Amino acid sequence: MNKVVSKDGTEIAYDTYGSGPGLVLIAGAFTDRSFYTPYAEALAATFTVVNYDRRGRGDSGDTTPYAVEREWEDLDALRTATGARFACAFSSGVMVLLQAGVPFEKLAIMEPPFRVEGSPPAPERYLERLQEYVDTGNPGGAAELFMVEAVGQPKEVVDQIRETPMWAGLEAMAHTLVYDGLQMRDSAVPVPLLSSVETPALALYSNASPEWMQRAAREAAAALPHGTVEGHDGTFHTLPPETLAAVLTGYFITG
């Protein structure tokens, strides 16, 4: 494990895999770097993969008060420390990447969860309720709100997860759901932001994801001045590591 110190003094933990041009992986909500280890290992044949814990997760620090700009500074500190040329962001991590303005050569974004036609309705008072759970020392309530109302998992499934050892880890990250909510703004497709991104960008989606998620990726690509979009076989909101490795090698290296 390595650490880099961000602009505000927060330590950001990361692992590196492989050799070759640098590629930073940016996590989506409710995941730490361990979730992306299979992707890092698959990509290591071509890239030096930088797999990091976003602030407040895993081995990274967390300095209060939170502001969305701090995560942009974290990403810039990682690029500066590692010399990474490329970045791939997953889900809500896409907004960290796009808003940061860090000078990567090419970008990839995997299923940004923008609300488009056909999206499920946004949970009522979502951010406010998340913050209330965090402030009252109820991280489990925040986790359940995200998993049931935002993601759409059946409550019975969440109740089963509560009984497993992984629940403690989820509770430890639950306060960062507020961070992702703030990064996502109102979750609408941020056309002005996207249209200002001059870096070539590839939007990806899984053919097994709901149509609205696929539409969100397509709409994001359409708004990017140099955006392209591809769908590949996968599962819900996920592509297999070997598929992502082949696609990103083709796009970043030989494309």
Q: What is the pLDDT of residue 53?
A: 98
Give the pLDDT band of residue 151 (cuts 50, 70, 90): confident
Is residue 191 within 8 A of residue 216, CB to CB? The reply is: no
Is it the case that residue 14 has pLDDT exceeding 80?
A: yes
Q: What is the pLDDT of residues 16-56, one digit of tens each?
A: 999 999 999 999 999 999 999 999 999 999 999 999 999 99
Spatial CA neighbour of 229 closest among 245, 216, 239: 216
Q: What is the pLDDT of residues 212-248, one digit of tens each?
A: 999 999 999 999 999 999 999 999 899 999 999 999 9
Q: What is the pLDDT of residue 253?
A: 94
Spatial CA neighbour of 187 closest among 223, 145, 220: 220
Question: What is the distance between the alpha carbons of residues 243 and 107, in angstroms, rounded to a whole number?
Answer: 17
Is it the case that residue 255 has pLDDT exceeding 80?
A: no
Give the pLDDT band of residue 152 (cuts 50, 70, 90): confident
Question: What number of residues does the chain have?
Answer: 255
Query: Whole-model pTM above 0.85?
Result: yes
Q: What is the pLDDT of residue 122?
A: 84
| Three-class secondary structure of residue 16 per DSSP | strand
Q: What is the pLDDT of residue 3?
A: 98
Q: What is the pLDDT of residues 158-172, one digit of tens each?
A: 999 999 999 999 999
Q: What is the pLDDT of residues 107-143, one digit of tens each?
A: 999 999 999 988 888 889 999 999 999 999 999 999 9
Give the ranges where the chain is alpha helix by DSSP (H). 37-43, 68-82, 93-100, 126-135, 139-144, 155-162, 166-173, 176-183, 191-195, 211-223, 241-248
Which structure tokens are listed for 127?
Answer: 């951010």
Residue 184 CA: distances (Å) to CA of 40, 80, 101: 25, 25, 16
